[in-house]
Chains A and B, each alone.
Chain A
């Protein structure tokens, strides 16, 4: 299986519409709203229009998995993480360990929301901010 990488390629084209977050919730989790999204668009206080998009880096040695005390969050083949829900104790250590703030928290289920790099968010971005790359070196980290 080809490993895919979700990347932010045109941050400065983001209009802050949250369409990507809605797409993730809807298409991956079958939930209407944006609360189940595995990525986050952040708006900066007092700086109109400054958005930062935090997506899973698909780390080869994920800090989030390393921080998990129960082995619920583990490294997936090719990088990134997978969650065994039954082992999760809702301690949030994983979310705190993700320095870039990409790993999101499901406030209803009290569990992390690991990104599966499926590209639904890419499909519903109207401004080509996000891209799914086949190889790490294809990703332009602008």
Chain B
């Protein structure tokens, strides 16, 4: 990699290009490079929505070159957690950045009026987006694909929906068809910059310096992607394959984490979605697996008149809008997801916040005065759709608060003990036990993908292990994912990319890496992220598990305060090496 960094200043409408091969030589790419760029351009004490607050996108040395290296890393200060904001998305963005010859994109400043940025190879132009202000994320893509795709060239389109324009800290940024920088509020940060969309295209290809070696590594990876059992699982039923098995082991969060077994899990299982609603698989650019599952939602809007929409679904979405809200009808889940997709909210944060609101209403912490007469109860899809409508309109202060997340709402209105959030971030859909709780507490993004906590929990059901061993395995995985996220590989292909093939791939590209250097990078990147988090004010000793989580059964039993304290201590020690 040349380490080409494009810096766009939205305030002045100018851009500059800089090659920093040393940065990429030392930090590989993706997440590790983006973290360093955040140190370089960001202020950990600053306002995440201030013009000077940077948004950084980075790809890695395998992007667009090897199969399933499909992700782009986004790094920013999160308006949801107030600390490290990091989110990954697929689609065609990594391909387009690579073809434009851009390894990292740094955006600062604020445009005068709502604008969109068009990047074509080394040029960047700011254009007015005033004609499509408040347009949905879906409509914005349609508009821009026509306006900017006239040349017939492949373009990638990143945009925010109305939620991002309203600066909702749970607003996502949507990439191409239906991929997302879902978590931690990138949508609000882009909205604060008056940046509605980014359109990226390029014409670059890379001559293969060592074609024989490159093709050999490629073929090994290709075979693993199309033949391995693990990748086939992601393609066939996809992540929703986990709905039933997790419910069977009490790991599927139900009615705001009250229990892990959902009586409607069969009705919203991956099998049921596939049989009754799945109409097509699609893929990110250069992923032969194709894990994107598109459902078709057909609704009768007047007698004998139907609307038809395609909605992508995944395990986390079924959890957040299904079992969390006690909805056991796939149609209901798809209706909520369609609305969410158009507005551009993060479905996980939104589902958890709706669940908090429901429990708060049922406990009398919220009243009909707050909700403007809407009665909330688990299982009532019509009420939830009404809530989303009112949130989109900003109907009253309560609805404007709701799109700020459950931590904000609970702090202001009460019900903190059942606001399921860790460091301000609503969790992924696992109720498996203490290892997952540690993931949520100490994972760099408070994300279920930061390590393998939920998987360690599940494995304990068959083979118990000493606590120390569990924590060591968790930190080891958190470190290793720094390598995968620096390359940048989709984590669904984590079983495909082992250390040996990664080193062979880097070698075929002429990059100088060995196993020792990779492991060093992994340890360092993890520590650097924690360093930035601490500079923002994150204190691992102070972040807490919501009280409710100590009084519910998980897959591995009750969460014990003392045991959790021990795990946190061990994790932090282990991380230091």
Interface residues of A (CB under 8 A from B): 15-19, 22, 25-27, 29-36, 43, 45-46, 48-49, 101, 107-108, 124, 126-127
Decide if B141 touches A46 in the complex (CB within 8 Å): yes
What is the CB-to-nearest-CB distance from B283 to chain A, in angstroms, rounded to a whole number?
Answer: 4
Interface residues of B (CB under 8 A from A): 64-65, 67, 95, 98-99, 138, 141-142, 145-146, 149, 152-154, 177-178, 203-208, 211, 214-215, 218, 222, 225-226, 279-290, 292, 294, 310, 312
State whether A48 and B310 are in contact (beta carbons under 8 Å apart), knowing that A32-B206, A33-B64, A35-B204 are contacts in the complex: yes
| Residue numbers in A under 8 Å from B141 (CB-CB) | 45-46
Q: Which residue of B lies closest to A126 (CB)?
A: B288
| Residue numbers in B under 8 Å from A107 (CB-CB) | 153, 203
Partner of B283, one of A17, A25, A29, A108: A17
State whether A32 and B290 are in contact (beta carbons under 8 Å apart), knowing that A45-B145, A49-B279 are contacts in the complex: no
Decide if A32 touches B285 in the complex (CB within 8 Å): no
Decide if A35 touches B99 in the complex (CB within 8 Å): yes
26 CB contacts below 8 A, A to B, read A15-B280, A15-B281, A15-B283, A16-B283, A17-B284, A17-B286, A17-B287, A18-B95, A19-B288, A29-B205, A31-B206, A32-B205, A32-B214, A34-B154, A34-B286, A35-B204, A35-B205, A43-B177, A46-B138, A46-B145, A48-B178, A49-B280, A49-B282, A101-B152, A107-B153, A107-B203
Q: Which residue of B lies closest to A95 (CB)?
A: B152
The 5 closest A-B pairs by CB, nearest first: A107-B203, A15-B290, A33-B205, A17-B283, A31-B205
CA distance A30 to B149 in the complex (A): 27
State whether A31 and B208 are in contact (beta carbons under 8 Å apart), knowing that A17-B290, A22-B286, A45-B142 are contacts in the complex: yes
CA distance A29 to B211 in the complex (A): 10
Instruction: Tell me whether chain A's interface is mostly helix, strand or loop, or mixed.
Output: loop
| Residue numbers in A under 8 Å from B177 (CB-CB) | 43, 48-49
| Residue numbers in B under 8 Å from A25 (CB-CB) | 205
CA distance A35 to B152 in the complex (A): 13
Decide if B142 touches A46 in the complex (CB within 8 Å): yes
CA distance A81 to B436 in the complex (A): 59
Decide if B286 touches A19 in the complex (CB within 8 Å): yes
Partner of B207, one of A19, A30, A124: A30
What is the CB-to-nearest-CB distance from B98 to chain A, in angstroms, rounded to a whole number?
Answer: 7
What is the CB-to-nearest-CB distance from B312 to chain A, in angstroms, rounded to a whole number?
Answer: 8
Q: Which residue of A lies closest to B207 (CB)?
A: A31
Partner of B282, one of A15, A32, A101: A15
CA distance A48 to B341 in the complex (A): 13
Decide if B149 touches A126 in the complex (CB within 8 Å): no
Partner of A34, one of B95, B215, B312: B95
| Residue numbers in A under 8 Å from B215 (CB-CB) | 26-27
CA distance A22 to B225 in the complex (A): 15
Partner of B310, one of A33, A49, A108: A49
What is the CB-to-nearest-CB distance from A57 to chain B, in angstroms, rounded to a whole number?
Answer: 18
What is the CB-to-nearest-CB distance from B156 to chain A, in angstroms, rounded to a whole number?
Answer: 11
Q: Which residue of A lies closest to B68 (CB)?
A: A17
CA distance A16 to B414 in the complex (A): 47
Decide if A126 touches B226 in the complex (CB within 8 Å): yes
Decide if A33 touches B99 in the complex (CB within 8 Å): yes
| Residue numbers in A under 8 Å from B142 (CB-CB) | 45-46
What is the CB-to-nearest-CB distance from B142 to chain A, in angstroms, rounded to a whole number?
Answer: 4
CA distance A93 to B243 in the complex (A): 55
CA distance A35 to B100 in the complex (A): 11
| Residue numbers in B under 8 Å from A127 (CB-CB) | 290
Q: Which residue of B lies closest to A45 (CB)?
A: B145
Q: A30-B207, A49-B282, A126-B290 are in contact. List 14 more A-B contacts (CB 8 A).
A: A16-B282, A18-B285, A19-B286, A26-B208, A30-B208, A31-B208, A33-B64, A33-B65, A33-B99, A45-B142, A45-B146, A49-B279, A108-B205, A126-B226
CA distance A78 to B287 in the complex (A): 35
